[in-house]
A and B are shown apart, each in its own frame.
Chain A
Amino acid sequence: MWVAILLTAAGCYLLKLLGLSVPQSVLAHPAVRRIADLLPVALLAALVGTQTFGDGASLSVDARLAGLVAGVVALLLRASFLVVVAVAAVSAAVLRLLAG
């Protein structure tokens, strides 16, 4: 078990360092630069999608979506970051409480 843990730790750290260490000359190419710019948005949006609808290997629509929609409404009303996060959490929690 310890061997696997240390292997995972070393591997995950090197993966993080690898991305930060790619020379800027490689990233200077316009197409590569645009791809690198779009990567975080694509991955984070995908993460939001799977966090909202994913349920193991299946999809489900539940209080998470309601919380997210409430958060987006707060964003459209120009609420601050803390308010957006709190609105999403409270909406989902209250809905779950009501659904019992």
Chain B
Amino acid sequence: MTEARRTIVRDAVAVGVATGAYGISFGAIAVTSGLSVLQACALSLLVFTGASQFAFVGVVAAGGAPVSGAATALMLGSRNTLYGLRLGSLLDLRGARRNAAAQLVIDESTAMAINRDNAADARLGFFATGLAVFALWNLATLGGALAGQALGDPRAFGLDAAVAAAFVALMWPQLRDARSRTTALAAAVLAVALVPLVPAGVPVLAAALVAVLGGLRAAR
């Protein structure tokens, strides 16, 4: 394995540790919301997309019907569809491999794939990150569900800032391009402005409009 590919794997493990740690919060919150340990683990194994899982238990904890929790989770999960539009051509997978890869389409694996300059590195970034996050997220969910809040709040270790900085670092090479930079800035401003006005998760989805406008405007 070359030095560059070793670096990709090392970075993937780091992303797995930083985001996987949130599985502890998820497991603890899920059990506090009234789910069993098995149900918390099933969500992390089968749903495996953090924002949707937090939304699901959030609705249930607030006394909502589990089905409306499912509806909110699906709305949030649609951002993975948008990632797939880019990843499809980048990863170029077929059949069973594509069906297996689909479960790993999340924020982190996308971020680690889009900044590569060849297909092999994009695939390595995607799979190494997807699998690292999958393994650690599920282990942490089990730990959090069993131990509750005793394992500590990831925010105390600054992991919330670390995750945001990791995404910026992963986008960094793309931000050299002026159109990407404008799109990113406008998307972030729009999403932050919408936070007080619309339900959680909608601000990030609304930012997709910025990409659509950016893509159309350049066509003229």
Contacts and interface: CB of A to CB of B under 8 A. Distances in A.
Interface in A1-44: 1-9, 11-13, 15-22, 24, 27, 30-32, 34-44
Nearest to A97: B156
A84 B169 contact: yes
Interface residues of A, number: 75
B66 A1 contact: yes
B110 interface: yes
Contacts of A38: 179-180, 183, 210-211, 214-215
B29 to A, nearest CB: 14
B149 interface: no
- Counting from the closest, the 4 A-B pairs by CB-CB distance are A19-B84, A67-B161, A71-B165, A35-B215
Interface of B: 7, 10-11, 14, 18, 35, 39, 42-43, 46-49, 52, 56, 60, 65-67, 69-70, 73-74, 77-89, 91, 93, 98-99, 101-103, 105, 107, 110-111, 114, 155-172, 174-175, 179-180, 183-192, 195-196, 200, 203-208, 210-212, 214-216, 218-219
A91 B13 CA distance: 21
A85 B207 contact: no
Interface string A34-62: 11111111111111111111101111000
A2 B39 contact: yes
A43 B83 contact: yes
B99 to A, nearest CB: 7
B47 A8 contact: yes
If over half of B's interface residues share one DSSP class (helix, strand or loop), that class is named, otherwise mixed; here it is: helix
A6 B47 CA distance: 8
Interface of A: 1-9, 11-13, 15-22, 24, 27, 30-32, 34-54, 56-59, 63-64, 66-68, 70-72, 74-75, 80-82, 84-94, 96
B85 to A, nearest CB: 4
B166 A84 contact: yes
Contacts of A1: 35, 39, 60, 66
